[in-house]
Amino acid sequence: MIDKRYQSAADAVADVPDGASVMIGGFGEAGSPIELIHALIDQGARDLTVISNNTGSGEVGLAALLKAGRVSKVVCSFPRTANSTVFPDLYRSGRIELELVPQGTLAERIRAGGAGIPAFFTPAAVGTPLAEGKESREFDGKEYLMERGLRADFALIKGRRADPYGNVVYSKTARNFGPIMAMAARVAVVQVNEIVEAGMLDPEVVVTPGIFVSRVVGVASPMHESELVAAGATYP
Amino acid sequence: MIDKRYQSAADAVADVPDGASVMIGGFGEAGSPIELIHALIDQGARDLTVISNNTGSGEVGLAALLKAGRVSKVVCSFPRTANSTVFPDLYRSGRIELELVPQGTLAERIRAGGAGIPAFFTPAAVGTPLAEGKESREFDGKEYLMERGLRADFALIKGRRADPYGNVVYSKTARNFGPIMAMAARVAVVQVNEIVEAGMLDPEVVVTPGIFVSRVVGVASPMHESELVAAGATYP
Amino acid sequence: MTTGEEQIGWSRDEMARRLALDIPNGSYVNLGIGIPELVAKFVPAGRTLIYHTENGLLGMGPSPAPGEGDPELINAGKRQVTAIAGASYFHHADSFAMIRGGHIDLCVLGAMQVAQNGDLANWSTGEPGAIPAVGGAMDLVAGVKSVYVITQHCTKTGEPKLVDRCTYPLTGRGVINRVYTDLAVVDVTRDGFRVVELAPGVEFEYVRERTGAPLLRSAPLATGQCHEHACGCDAKRRPV
Amino acid sequence: MTTGEEQIGWSRDEMARRLALDIPNGSYVNLGIGIPELVAKFVPAGRTLIYHTENGLLGMGPSPAPGEGDPELINAGKRQVTAIAGASYFHHADSFAMIRGGHIDLCVLGAMQVAQNGDLANWSTGEPGAIPAVGGAMDLVAGVKSVYVITQHCTKTGEPKLVDRCTYPLTGRGVINRVYTDLAVVDVTRDGFRVVELAPGVEFEYVRERTGAPLLRSAPLATGQCHEHACGCDAKRRPV
């Protein structure tokens, strides 16, 4: 039998060590695995490198992880959001490092990392400040930058449904970075609203095949960041 | 309204010019768009470059296109099959050019072409004869080859169902090269067993979003290569 | 601000309406956050555009009815949206494959500066202490077939946004095809900015004074309301 | 051929059974065409392996019952197969992302030659006039975590397949971890070939004479039937 189910979010992130690199899914609140992030806060790992498209809002979820001082560096395309004060404060006071990456380059670097591609060329950011220090090269008369594949020790991802083999389907635009982060992480942890039996997910519609997933946790009614922020919630 | 439906396979390939590059889906017979290939034979375009994983079997479908003398070059990973004599004969007599590409490199080159990636690095084929003439480079102590993205003028693809927007779902392992060839071709032509109304395909399960598809043709009961070959069929 | 200048030229809605006229039926379009989003409201009857939002949806529909939104169905501006019949969801790498691979026909963006060589600056003032955030703008301008800017012709303090050379950090180099402002429609050509249309009541000289780079005029140079046809059609346009 | 030598050592089924013992529960496995396919028949009870076939299926099941096959559900050898509960289909780029990205635990391949440095030749004799065809072998050996070869120890004409240096065109450089032959299980180590187990009744010298490169012996060197445990377990193995 193959059974990747974990009893709780706490169990599923128990072995994240200090200094780990952690990809965290989500685009804004859609797909943000709040329960896994909160479990990571409880767990206490620090000096983390977080790879995520945003830096969270309010003082819950990803912003709470930052606020708790657990993150030394973020790799990110848009670390500025309405209701976001945690990252700006940390950044301005020099307490966090930022590697700013164009969103499509970030996605492709993650996909490349997961696909065993160590480097690729992209036209994005040519001629901009984000090209500084990067190798550039011409193909067919057009200039491109070389970008490196990106991998991580862990990925925290929110899906909709999974089976014990780790097959995952997502919900609408909450899919975003989940499938590629699952590919690029040594240990991909996925929280889903519902865990179903093997065979209940049509093989034609599985988005993330189980081979990319190490751990599955059921979170029947996940929290939504915007509601928490509107309610003034903080974590812990 | 957006309506990418074409009345017939003949209509859908009517404008393929001599000298065109044509990606043809399929892995063996699974996903081989026989009706579109036969329409292309009828249409008469020659001096084609065909990009396809195999070279067909018997004297139907892809093998028939080769046999008709329409193809000057194939880009291919495995041009040798049981019941395959057409390509071997052409190749041995010097009447067709072969660019042999490892299967995963072929897939990734096509995906890169469709994704606007002009080049990438892969570990496949390092130290082998297929590395000859290719740029190699070390990343993190391991050697890789640089491979170029691959695009084509047309792609002929077999799906299971599509809607007028060009959204496509496939059948089992007939999916294979279809989704990436749709991305990499200027004009992707997809034959499907069934065309359904917009809205009948769940947005969560669409495999090829309509943006990658130019033309959709209904072929309710597509032929299977193995049955044709077993029956000794030839085309035309 | 309620200066006299605001009375002149197109309103934001009119700018969006003017731009919408130029998008052919069946186009795949990515609309940036802000004024660009208005364009969707003004697509002429009989045309269907398919909206792409880079966070993983093709076939984005309008905002949901109150109370019917889903926090997991949002656009790139992180606002709740809907999906049309015929939509599809996909992950971020596939979404930017659409962008980078040249599959999106048109992207409409806001701008801080556009240079006469097509350079765009729209993501950072470069000020120390600012939180740098780029999102998908650099990928969009590098990959989408046509990139239009929609923006006020000048900043709130009256500085030209169409400039000789961008002083802000670039988003992309030579990427802008056309600019729609409150005063004019301006093509970015090999020879620099060329006015292809003036807003009603706006004179060429008026625009030139408010442009930070040489401004060419098109012949025929059109003005006014005559846009029942799609982009490229000169019917009923009067030369200035 | 019915020479005396064929009586010695493991049959093809026994080679496959021996290899199957070494695959841990839960492994993701890609089996090449031919002898490697036999491995699936001999997985010990209580272990579940997930089979990947590079043409786009994870969770490949056994052959279909007669008359129940689907020409669109095939394996990399283009034979009809089935899909288990918990399977998934995907396109070729995703399939080789699994391979190249190091997600597949084990690949089992046939071989024409394996060199003592782990080089593999299994796709071409390099003869003029042969139709070159490589398929996915180069991607598999470059990407999969462990690559095992299963093969007769010698060719039909008695030439060693384990060699000092491959004379046929390479499939990959330094990629093979272990070889299962009819005579022995041989690890490819930094020091070259090392026998870790002999088939019943086969002596080390016998294997050495049929190997085209120096052959080290492991201590403890095991032989025989004692494999109720998984790989790495030395229980009940007797040193030679």
DSSP D7-23: GSS--HHHHHHHHHHTS
Mark yes or no for CB contact B117/A122 under 8 Å. yes
Q: Per the structure block, which two tokens stand in for D218?
A: 């492991």
Rounded alpha-carbon distances, angstroms, from residue C59 to B151, B210, B236, C62, C76: 25, 10, 41, 10, 13
A185: Cβ–Cβ under 8 A, 6 or more apart, which residues? A23, A114, A151, A152, A153, A154, A155
Rounded average pLDDT over C122-136: 91
Minimal CA separation from D50 to chain A, in Å: 9
Q: What is residue A161's three-state secondary structure?
A: strand
Nearest neighbour of B120 by CB, restricted to A120, A204, A205: A120
Q: Is the pTM of this model over 0.90?
A: yes
User: How far is the alpha carbon of B199 from chain C, nearest alpha carbon, in Å?
Assistant: 4
Q: Which of A183, A198, A210 sits opposite D97 (nearest CB)?
A: A183
Average model confidence (pLDDT) for chain C?
90
The pLDDT confidence band at residue D130, using thresholds 50, 70 and 90, is confident
- State mean pLDDT over D132-161: 97
pLDDT at D231: 40
Q: Are B146 and B175 in contact (CB under 8 A)?
A: no
Per-residue pLDDT of chain B (236 residues; tens, 9 = 90+): 799 999 999 999 999 999 999 999 999 999 999 999 999 999 999 999 999 999 999 999 999 999 999 999 999 999 987 778 899 999 999 999 999 999 999 999 999 999 999 999 999 999 999 999 999 999 999 999 999 999 999 999 999 999 999 999 999 999 999 999 999 999 999 999 999 999 999 999 999 999 999 999 999 999 999 999 999 999 99
Residue C107 has pLDDT above 50, yes or no: yes
- C-alpha–C-alpha distance, residues C57 and C50, integer Å: 10
Cis ω on the peptide bond leading into residue B236 (within 30° of 0)? Answer: yes
Question: What average pLDDT does range D50-63 have in this prediction?
Answer: 97
- How far out from the chain centre does Cα C165 lie? 19
Partner-chain contact D92 B27, CB within 8 Å: yes
Catalytic residue among D5, D6, D14, D54: D54
Which chain B residues are closer than 8 Å to A139 by Cβ? 118-119, 148
Pairing of strands C178-180, C146-150: parallel
What element of type H or E holds A191? strand A185-195
Q: Is C173 on the interface with A (CB under 8 A)?
A: yes
| Distance from C-alpha of C185 to C-alpha of B96, rounded to nearest angstrom | 53
Query: For residues C231 and B187, which has the higher predicted lDDT (pLDDT)?
Result: B187
Is B139 inside a domain boundary? yes
Report which of D93, D143, A148 is spatially closest to residue B114, judged by C-alpha positions.
D93
Q: Closest to D83 (Cβ–Cβ): which among A113, A165, A203?
A: A203
Mean pLDDT per block of 10 residues along chain A (236 residues) reads 95 98 97 98 98 96 97 96 87 96 98 98 98 98 98 98 98 98 98 97 98 98 95 96
CB contact under 8 A, A170 and B204: yes
* Per-residue exposure over B147-164, b if at least 16 CB sit within 10 Å of its own CB, e if not: bbbbbbbbbbbbbbbbbb
CATH number at B45 reads 3.40.1080.10
Distance of CA B160 to CAs B33, B135, B192, B196, B209, Å? 11, 40, 5, 11, 14
Assigned domain for B221 exists: no
pLDDT bracket for residue D221 (50, 70, 90): low
Mutate to test the interface with D, among B83, B142, B147, B172 (most CBs of D within 10 A): B172
Substitution target in A204, A206, A207, A208 with the highest count of B β-carbons within 10 Å is: A204
3-state secondary structure (DSSP) of residue A40: helix
> In this model, does residue C235 exceed pLDDT 70?
no
Residue D128: the pLDDT is 83
Q: What is the mean pLDDT of residues C152-165?
A: 97
Least CB-CB distance to A117: which of B121, B148, B204? B121
Q: How much is the pLDDT for D102?
A: 98
Kindly report the number of other CB atoms within 10 A of residue C157's CB atom.
Answer: 6
Structure confidence at residue C236 as a pLDDT band (50, 70, 90): very low
Half-sphere exposure of D184 (CA within 13 A, CB side): 30
CA distance A154 to A184: 9
B120 vs A117, A169, A172: nearest CB: A117
Residue D74 forms contact with B (CB below 8 Å): yes
Mean pLDDT of D201-219: 94
Domain that holds residue A36: 17-150+157-179+190-209
Contact C171 A79 (CB under 8 A): no
Chains C and D touch each other (3 or more Cβ pairs < 8 A): no
Q: What pLDDT, on a 0 to 100 scale, did the predictor assign at position C220?
A: 59
Partners of C30 in beta bridges: C107
Instruction: Measure the CA–CA gap between C194 and C218, rounded to whole angstroms.
Output: 6
Could you tell me if D93 lies within 8 Å of chain B, comparing CB atoms?
Answer: yes
> Tokens 């006229």 label which residue?
C21
Nearest to A113 by CA among A166, A192, A51, A55: A51
Could you tell me if D101 lies within 8 Å of chain B, comparing CB atoms? no
Number of domains in chain A: 1
How many other C-beta atoms lie within 10 A of the C-beta of residue C133?
20
Share of chain C above pLDDT 70, in %: 88
Q: What is the DSSP string of B156-176?
A: EEEEEEE-TT--EE--GGG-T
> And the tokens for C89?
């969801």
Q: Would you state the pLDDT for residue C238?
A: 33
The CA distances from residue B35 to A18, B32, B157, B192, B224, in Å, are 58, 9, 10, 10, 10
Chains C and A touch (3+ CB pairs under 8 A): yes
d(CA D116, CA C171): 53
Q: Who among D50, D89, D97 is closest to A114 (CB)? A: D97
- What distance in Å separates residue B71's CA from the closest CA in chain C? 27
pLDDT, residue B60, reads: 97
Q: Do C88 and B203 touch (CB under 8 A)?
A: yes
| CB spacing of C86 vs B209 below 8 angstroms | no
D54 has catalytic annotation:
yes
Pairing of strands C162-163, C178-180: unpaired
Q: Which of these, B66, B48, B31, lies nearest to B156 by C-alpha position?
A: B31
Residue D235's pLDDT band, with cuts at 50, 70 and 90, is very low
Task: Give me chain B's average pLDDT, please.
Answer: 97
Predicted confidence at residue C239, as pLDDT, reads: 35
Which H or E run contains A34? helix A34-43
Q: What counts of helices (H) and strands (E) characterise chain B?
A: 7, 12
pLDDT at C75 over 90: yes
Burial zone of B231 (CB within 10 Å; 0-12 exposed, 13-18 middle, 19+ buried): exposed
Distance CA B77, CA A188 (A): 32
Q: Do chains B and C touch (3 or more CB pairs under 8 A)?
A: yes
Cβ(A225)–Cβ(A57) under 8 Å? yes
| % chain D with pLDDT above 90 | 84
Q: How far apart are the first and last CA of chain D?
A: 30
For chain B, say whether D42 makes contact (Cβ under 8 Å). Answer: no
Contacts of D209 (CB under 8 A, 6+ apart): none
How many A/B residue pairs have CB atoms within 8 Å? 54
B16 Cα to chain D: minimum distance (Å) = 25
A204 part of contact set with chain D, CB < 8 Å: yes
- Say which CATH class C12-41+102-217 falls into: alpha beta
**Cα separations in angstroms, D30 against A87, C175, D88, D172:** 45, 46, 15, 17
pLDDT over 70 (residue C225): no
In-domain check, residue A7: no
Tell me if A126 sits within 8 A of C142, measured CB to CB: yes
DSSP per residue, D57-107: EEEEE-PPPTT---TTSB-TTS-B-EEEEEEEE--HHHHHHHHHTT---EE
| Domain boundary assignment for chain C | 12-41+102-217
Task: List the chains bordering chain D where 3 or more Cβ pairs fall under 8 Å.
Answer: A, B
pLDDT, residue A81, reads 79
The DSSP-derived string for B45-65 is --SEEEE-S---STBSHHHHH
Q: Alpha-carbon Rg of chain B, whole angstroms?
A: 18
Joined tokens for residue A147: 């970008």
State how far the Cα of D133 lies from the Cα of D141, in Å rounded to an integer.
16
- Report pLDDT digits (tens) over D60-85: 999 999 999 999 999 999 999 999 99
* DSSP characters over A71-138: EEEEEES----TT--HHHHHHHTT-SEEEE--HHHHHHHHHHHHHT--EEEE-TTTTSGGGTT--EEE
CA A223 from chain centre, in angstroms, equals 17
Determine how many CB atoms are found less than 10 A away from the CB of residue D13: 12
d(CA B154, CA B163): 20
pLDDT at C230 over 70: no
How far, in Å, CA of C197 to CA of C181, rounded? 10
